[in-house]
């Protein structure tokens, strides 16, 4: 319906009747309305449009006439995609890496590692190794292949195509002597970031 002005005031004018929503159950009406609205705007469904939705949309389009002087909508510029002809190549995991990368920066770990003498490359390798431990723990030997099959290179802005496990072993050798300084700085930053207090736990292993 649309509102129109009349000598007796605004009145509702029926543009097109979509008919009864039956046989759809009442609890599904809102969901159906959203799907119809999306279809009318030119937004297709990846799984295809249901016959009930297609029928309502077709009826609405038959009853729709564009009035002179009314600008065309963005739907007129939409391009339809045939999902049957869409293929994917080399899908790579990115979500967990993206979250871990931002937490790494929030904790200030790049600055901590640079403060103990790490080069930029060593900092990136350390981050990649930590993200692997958090997301999909593997041995250093298997880690390079995992990195190449994820979006690690794009997120960290570096190339891991030629990375070998020997480079990761060497990086562990650099990390180990600095562990106390790293843990101390990280502990201070965690308390500030998460508002934590020192807690002492006593336990008996006997």
Express each pLDDT in 164-180 by its tens digit: 999 999 999 999 999 99
Residue-range domain boundaries for the chain: 2-67, 95-194
Confidence of residue 27 (pLDDT cuts 50, 70, 90): confident
Put simply, whether the predicted model's pTM sits higher than 0.95 gets the answer no
97, two tokens:
């890496």
Return the pLDDT at 150: 93
Residue 129 has pLDDT above 60, yes or no: yes
14, two tokens:
């029926």
Please write down the long-range contacts of 39-47, taking CB distance under 8 Å and 24 or more positions apart.
Answer: 40/75, 41/73, 41/74, 41/75, 42/74, 42/75, 42/76, 42/78, 42/80, 43/78, 44/80, 44/81, 46/83
What lies within 8 Å, CB to CB, of 112 at 6+ separation is 182, 185, 186, 189
What lies within 8 Å, CB to CB, of 25 at 6+ separation is none
Residue 67 has pLDDT above 60, yes or no: no
């Amino acid at each position: 319906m649309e509102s129109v002005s009349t000598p007796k005031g605004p009145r509702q004018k029926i543009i097109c009747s979509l008919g009864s929503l039956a046989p759809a159950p009442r609890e599904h009406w809102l969901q159906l309305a959203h799907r119809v609205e999306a279809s009318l705007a030119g937004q297709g469904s990846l799984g295809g449009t249901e016959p009930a939705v297609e029928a309502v949309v077709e009826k609405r389009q038959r009853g729709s006439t564009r009035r002179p002087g009314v600008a065309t909508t963005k739907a007129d510029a939409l391009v339809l995609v045939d999902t049957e002809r869409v293929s994917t190549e080399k899908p790579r995991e990115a979500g967990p890496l993206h979250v871990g990368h931002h937490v790494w920066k929030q904790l200030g770990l790049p600055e901590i590692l640079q403060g103990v003498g790490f080069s930029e490359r060593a900092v990136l390798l350390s981050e990649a190794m930590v993200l692997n431990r958090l997301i999909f723990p593997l041995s250093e030997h298997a880690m390079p292949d995992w990195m190449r099959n994820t979006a690690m290179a794009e997120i960290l802005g570096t190339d891991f195509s030629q990375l070998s496990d020997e480079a990761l072993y060497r990086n562990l050798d650099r990390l180990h002597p600095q562990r106390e300084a790293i843990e101390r700085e990280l502990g201070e930053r965690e308390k500030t970031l998460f508002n934590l207090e020192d807690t002492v736990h006593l336990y008996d292993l006997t």
